[in-house]
Amino acid sequence: RWINKAPLGYRNKTTTDGQKYISQYDPEAFLIREVFEEIIKERFSLSEIHKQATSKGLKCSLSAFYRLVRNPIYCGQIKIPESENEKSKVINGLHTGIISVSLFERVQKILGGKNNSNFVKRKKVLNENFILRGILLCPICGKTLTASSSQGRNRKYYYYHCTGKCKYHIRTDYLNKSFLLFLQKEQIDVSFLKIGDDFLKEIDRGRREAYKSKKREIGKVMDRSIDRSLNAHQLFSTGKIDYDDYLLIKESCKTHLKICASELREQALKAGVDIYGKNGGGDIFSHLGDFYEISDVLTKQRIAKLFFPERVIADDNILNMLPEFIKEIFGIKLPKSPSTIEKIGNKEKINHFFKELSLYVFEQQLKGL
Ligand SMILES: [Zn+2]
């Protein structure tokens, strides 16, 4: 079943019994098929192919086009985004594809994309200089930029660069720095701070509850250990076990109780940190730049990914790269006011943004213990 707005090349339809589905729509679908077939010929760059397609009537911005050619919907599959419990995956949709799976996969290989679950991901070492790796697209040919270093005369230089013929590259420190500056300078619009605060409070509440039940649990275990010890004493004094056995049981109970007590202390300590309250967790949303700076590389990368959930064309002006919902969060004026569908979508993205961010704050606070 299809509940969202149909992607380009498709239109929403309803069967006579009210089932919603998407159906191919020509000439859009035809033009999109041509695009995929052109890519594997490797004659033109992606931006040139985009130009050709729009001149033939395909209504699609360049950045939307870069996403389009990576969307498995066109080979009949649907990408399920990452959720709390599951990694993102690709499943077969109920709709018919505009192109074959094999054509789609060949195109992905050419684009160097890793959207398809069939492609083996190369393991990459986390590097402070490459925070935005995997997020950026080449402004010339549309490939995903990778990152590497080169040895200059006096120092090493780090670049996000294209592996295509266009040789596009941009210094990583420029881009990384402008992202940091954005976080330091721009403030989350006050109207959104409450969403973030609510998530932090929810985490605090959840942890207090978890502590209470953990405390009960440990308490029961401790009771049993004490009973066992008393029981052993009883058995010894009535001559049913000998002294060595009694000592053995007594010692093991003592050690066990010690472990329980220290676990209880640890849990109490964790529950005692009110991330929203005293420790200023709520304040972090107003000082995102500071939080980002003290975060570890992995968290930095995850924060960057929150700002850029979809790949964007690299631009030396970070403002040109920001998706709409981020602009909304930071009270930056949008070029055009969003449609109702876009507004609902943005609201979801904003919620997800704050929920994830709250969890990162929580993780960092726990690390500080
Ligand atoms: Zn390129």
Tell how far the Cα of 55 is from the centroid of ligand 1, in angstroms.
Answer: 22
| DSSP code per residue over 67-86 | HHTT-GGGGTEEEEPP-SSS
Given 111, 135, 150, the domain boundary residue is 111
> 310 lies in a domain?
no
- With tokens 């849990």, the residue in question is 267
Tell how far the Cα of 130 is from the centroid of ligand 1, in angstroms.
Answer: 18
User: Tell me, what CATH number does 72's domain have?
Assistant: 3.90.1750.20
Tell how far the Cα of 101 is from the centroid of ligand 1, in angstroms.
Answer: 25
Each residue of 208-254: pLDDT tens digit?
888 888 888 888 888 888 888 889 888 988 988 888 888 888 888 88
Each residue of 72-110: pLDDT tens digit?
999 998 888 777 778 888 888 888 899 999 999 989 888
pLDDT of residue 119 exceeding 60: no
d(CA 301, CA 295): 10
Q: Which domain holds residue 239?
A: 204-281
pLDDT of residue 364 exceeding 60: yes
> 350 lies in a domain?
no
pLDDT of residue 302 exceeding 50: yes
Tell how far the Cα of 42 is from the centroid of ligand 1, in angstroms.
Answer: 13
pLDDT band for position 118 (50/70/90)? very low
- Residues with beta carbon < 5 A to ion ligand 1? 138, 140-141, 162, 164, 166, 168
Q: Are strands 89-92 and 77-80 parallel, antiparallel or unpaired?
A: antiparallel
Prediction ipTM score = 0.97
Tell how far the Cα of 7 is from the centroid of ligand 1, in angstroms.
Answer: 26
d(CA 144, CA 70): 11
Given 266, 281, 296, the domain boundary residue is 281
Given 96, 111, 126, the domain boundary residue is 111
Tell how far the Cα of 160 is from the centroid of ligand 1, in angstroms.
Answer: 11
pLDDT of residue 275 exceeding 90: no
Instruction: Considering only CA atoms, give the Rg of the chain.
Output: 28
d(CA 298, CA 315): 23
Q: Are strands 136-137 and 312-313 parallel, antiparallel or unpaired?
A: parallel
> 85 lies in a domain?
yes
Tell how far the Cα of 129 is from the centroid of ligand 1, in angstroms.
Answer: 20
What average pLDDT score do residues 286-312 get? Answer: 91
Tell how far the Cα of 127 is from the centroid of ligand 1, in angstroms.
Answer: 22
Tell how far the Cα of 166 is from the centroid of ligand 1, in angstroms.
Answer: 5
Total count of domains within the chain: 2
pLDDT of residue 123 exceeding 80: no
